[in-house]
């Protein structure tokens, strides 16, 4: 379902993926075991993705090698999209 704008019309969906995993070292972004990645979920905007990222990261705060990320999938799906519009919408 698309988000609503101030006018009540559906807005453009800005898909975000939240995932994480244990890194093999603190110096690189190489995951220890790809089969153990934690796919937290897909979210329609940055704000909800950020809340999910924050909750997942806080659960693993004692493991220095565990990292969670937010991937802006809408930027991959529509690379010519105006990035300034993303910032205005929090995405």
| Whole-angstrom distance, CA of residue 76 vs CA of residue 24 | 26
> Judging by beta carbons within 10 Å of its beta carbon (0-12, 13-18, 19+), is residue 67 exposed, middle or buried?
middle
| Whole-angstrom distance, CA of residue 80 vs CA of residue 82 | 6
Going residue by residue through the chain (91 aa), what tens digit of pLDDT does each one get? 444 434 444 567 899 999 999 999 999 999 999 999 999 999 999 999 999 999 999 999 999 999 999 999 988 887 776 555 555 555 5
pTM: predicted TM-score of the whole model, two decimal places:
0.73
Domains of the chain: 16-88 (3.30.70.2400)
Neighbours of 68 (CB within 10 A): 19
């Amino acid at each position: 379902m698309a988000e609503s704008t101030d006018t009540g019309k559906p807005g453009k969906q800005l898909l975000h993926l939240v995932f994480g995993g244990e890194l093999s070292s603190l110096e690189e972004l190489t995951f220890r075991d790809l089969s153990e990645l934690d796919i937290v979920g897909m979210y329609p905007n940055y704000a909800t993705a950020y809340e999910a990222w924050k909750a997942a990261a806080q659960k693993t705060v004692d493991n220095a090698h565990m990292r969670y990320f937010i991937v802006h999938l809408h930027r991959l799906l529509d690379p010519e999209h105006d990035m300034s519009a993303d910032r205005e919408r929090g995405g």
